[in-house]
Amino acid sequence: MAAFFETPEEATHAEIQEIISRFGRSAAICKKAGFSGIEIHGAHGYLINQFLSPHHNQRTDQWGGSPENRRRFLLAVYAEIRRQVGDDFPVAIKLNSADFQHGWFYRRRVAGND
């Protein structure tokens, strides 16, 4: 299947900031459309989950490495959403419990430790 997909490239800092802004705009659009709240999907291999995971996130900058750096993206997304929708609009965050069961949010990947 690799022939059908391009090799992923690490997002630049500017691209990450744009993605964060888009999460906020999307939440604001949902609020304006009459939704009663939104959920940030941080599970099942989606982008936020990839930033959280030391298995997938191999970055060495402020967005990777330590657990604090890996969760920086999620916290920035949440802050931007909150900024755009206000304090009274419900915002939930979905995380994958299996990541906690296997310790993926807390340890670095070690060969043979998948």
Does residue 62 fall inside a structural domain? yes
Does residue 26 fall inside a structural domain? yes
Q: What is the pLDDT of residue 109?
A: 46
Residue 43, phi-psi category: left (phi > 0), alpha (psi -120 to 50), beta (remainder):
beta
Residue 108: pLDDT over 60? no
Q: Which pTM does this prediction carry?
A: 0.84
Does residue 75 fall inside a structural domain? yes
Note if 46 is an active site residue.
yes
Does residue 110 fall inside a structural domain? no
Does residue 5 fall inside a structural domain? no
Residue 96: pLDDT over 60? yes
Does residue 1 fall inside a structural domain? no
Percentage of the chain surpassing pLDDT 90? 68
Q: How many domains does the chain have?
A: 1
Task: Determine contact, residues 42/94, Cβ cutoff 8 Å.
Answer: yes
Percentage of the chain surpassing pLDDT 70? 85
- Domain containing 24 equals 13-101
Q: Determine which one of 35, 46, 100, 106 is catalytic.
A: 46
Does residue 47 fall inside a structural domain? yes
Does residue 109 fall inside a structural domain? no
